[in-house]
Amino acid sequence: MDRPGFTASLVAGGVAGVAVDLILFPLDTIKTRLQSPQGFNKAGGFRGIYAGVPSAAIGSFPNAAAFFITYEYVKWFLHTDSSSYLMPVKHMLAASAGEVVACLIRVPSEVVKQRAQVSASSRTFQIFSNILYTEGIQGLYRGYKSTVLREALWSWRQDRVVDCWQSAVCGAFAGGFAAAVTTPLDVAKTRIMLAKAGSSTASGNVLSALHGVWRTQGLSGLFAGVFPRVAAISLGGFIFLGAYERARSLLLQLGRERPRVGDGAPGTALKTGGAVQAAARREQGS
């Protein structure tokens, strides 16, 4: 774990995560409003497209950092020979553990953000305070299980270490397909987070939420927001890796370190590569 450039990689990953969240935030807002129970127009349509951005901006960096650190630690803890056939399993287990920990930060941020996106007239802090007052801390973790389930499915796409831009190109296609397939889980997560306190959907039961959408809106409801979701995930990897490489290069220069191919930090060879590849895919999974 203690390798040259690790700190620079960690900070660069957080910076890149913030960049992705802010640049693609309008697509995320459109997706959330399409998936909301009141419908796109009543949820705000194209108005106030950056509603909820403070929550995303505050939660993005620690969320990315928590994932990166957990991923690297678990991968180190499960150390196996680099040629071992267990390497893909190690990467997938590390990514899954990273998601479980990162979601402890991501879910509260996501709950506040999504409620702000469908009620643009309310301020982010006002929504946060209201959740704590009416539901307590558990209200901020509404949808935790559905979020972890969705993100864990993403993490199990991790299979092998490749060049970062090769990963971005392949991930744009594979990620777009996976985004479409997992859209029903994303819809369930959105409905659970937006549900009124005390309702059956607010209990967090994913199957119940999916059944409710199917009963009222059918197949189109289960795949609401699929196009902005696919677009965000396909673009997110390129933006993440571009911002990551620039930020890491700058940090290494400021720290008087020269970036080297295969120096153990995720760059061209992606030796910490699973973390960056997985992070690039997960940034716009919400």
3-state secondary structure the chain: CCCCCHHHHHHHHHHHHHHHHHHCHHHHHHHHHHHCCCCCCCCCCCCCCCCCHHHHHHHHHHHHHHHHHHHHHHHHHCCCCCCCCCHHHHHHHHHHHHHHHHHHHHHHHHHHHHHHHCCCCCCHHHHHHHHHHHHCHHHHCCCHHHHHHHHHHHHCCCCCCCCHHHHHHHHHHHHHHHHHHCHHHHHHHHHHHHCCCCCCHHHCCHHHHHHHHHHHHHHHHHCCCHHHHHHHHHHHHHHHHHHHHHHHHHHHHHCCCCCCCCCCCCCCCCCCHHHHHHHHHHCCCC
What does the alpha-carbon distance between residue 24 and residue 59 come to, in Å, rounded to a whole number? 15
Residue 213 CA: distances (Å) to CA of 118, 153, 187, 216, 253: 18, 21, 8, 5, 51
pLDDT tens sequence across 200-245 = 899 889 999 999 999 999 999 999 999 999 999 888 877 887 888 8
pLDDT tens sequence across 3-47 = 546 787 788 888 888 898 999 999 999 999 999 999 999 999 999
At residue 280 the predicted structure's pLDDT band, cuts being 50, 70 and 90, is low
pLDDT tens sequence across 48-64 = 999 999 999 999 889 88
Q: What is the dihedral of CA 131, 136, 140, 141, to 10 degrees?
A: -150
pLDDT tens sequence across 174-189 = 777 888 988 999 999 9
- Looking at residue 166, its pLDDT comes to 61
- Looking at residue 33, its pLDDT comes to 97
At residue 142 the predicted structure's pLDDT band, cuts being 50, 70 and 90, is very high
pLDDT higher than threshold 70 for residue 156: no
Architecture (CATH level 2) of domain 6-282:
Alpha/alpha barrel (1.50)
Q: How large is the average pLDDT for residues 72-101? A: 78
What's the chain's average pLDDT? Answer: 81
pLDDT tens sequence across 117-133 = 999 778 899 999 999 99
Of 70-84, 113-127, 186-200, the poorest mean pLDDT is in: 70-84
Q: How large is the average pLDDT for residues 81-88? A: 66
What does the alpha-carbon distance between residue 34 and residue 72 come to, in Å, rounded to a whole number? 36
pLDDT tens sequence across 246-278 = 888 888 888 764 544 444 444 433 344 555 555
Of 63-72, 107-116, 162-171, 194-203, the poorest mean pLDDT is in: 162-171
- Looking at residue 105, its pLDDT comes to 93
For residue 15, what are its two tokens? 């910076």
- Higher pLDDT, residue 175 or 156: 175
